[in-house]
Amino acid sequence: MHVLPNIAAEGGTNPASGAAPVSKPFRANVDLVLVPVTVVDPDDRVVTGLTKENFSVYDDKRKEEIRTFSVEDAPISLGIIFDTSRSMTDKIDNAREAVAQFLQTSNPEDEFFLIGFSDQPRLLNPFTGAEGEIQNKLIYIVPQGPTALIDAIYLGMTEMRNAYHRRKALLIISDGGDNHSRYTDAEIKRRVKEADVQLYAIGIFDTVPRTIEEQMGPTLLSELTETTGGRTITVANAGELPGVANEIGNELRSEYVLGYRPSHPAKDGKWHKIKVKLSTPKGQRPLSLYAKRGYYASE
């Protein structure tokens, strides 16, 4: 079941883009479930060199056999969700540099699109393999207006219908909570679970939030990103943005991908929880992992 936004009765279109309704939700082919996993050390550095034996995967609490295991740097279809609201005025230059640093980690076969958002999201550049096109669009952005973050993520999910590669991800760069979207928290959480898209976010949050929306912003982004196997990284000041963007780019190039076939396959259309456990190699400091938390089975 796909929950439509409350304004559906006004015309049934996506309020973020004015385009046709969002496409049919992604349903996993339960013959083979692929789980992207990122492992980091206590210093937040990506850990490579692990083997299949270091991982265990559980589907609805049942341990499954890992059938496929890879760490290849496969091409990716990636959308950049860029905050252009008024509160970004003194951070916009660092945010532009963050995108530039992120793009430098890209694979030659990658493709990108760019969405800017303030009072509403706008597709500033559709999918392209030319990094320069994305950076040129950022030059002319003038921060203004409120923040429709949820609508922007929803539009990003919709644009992924046009993706060429199997691997798909969104990078969100924002400094605050949502205060102008038509979609709700519940609707975007459902949409993120339905979509086969990994989410990462860089948050530049105020130490003392001024509104309830800003107070809830970090929690919402963390819930959305961690559900997909990505994560939200909070920076203390805008000057940290480029370095963090580069870090996330490297993470996407260093993911482990675990594949398994559920021992009790079900085509019930329901949400099935995934749990990945890590066996830390001897002599290694404690490690942390980020993995996709589940999938909707096909019907």
Give per-residue pLDDT as tens, 137-164. 999 999 999 999 999 999 999 999 999 9
Give per-residue pLDDT as tens, 96-129. 999 999 999 999 999 999 999 999 999 999 999 9
The domains of the chain are located at: 33-71+255-296, 76-252
Q: How far apart are the first and last CA of the chain?
A: 11
**What is the model's pLDDT at position 154?**
97
Closest of 158, 189, 184, 137 to residue 22, by C-alpha: 158
**What is the model's pLDDT at position 209?**
64
Asked if 240 contacts 97 with a C-beta cutoff of 8 angstroms, the reply is no
Going by their DSSP bridges, the two strands 232-234 and 198-203 should be labelled as parallel
Higher pLDDT, 196 or 1: 196
- 57 forms beta bridges with 64, 276
**What is the model's pLDDT at position 27?**
53
* pLDDT band, very low/low/confident/very high, at 7 (cuts 50, 70, 90): very low
Q: How is residue 137 written in tokens? A: 């669009």
Q: DSSP code of 78?
A: E
**What is the model's pLDDT at position 2?**
38
Percent of the chain with pLDDT over 90: 75
The fold of 76-252 is: Rossmann fold (3.40.50)
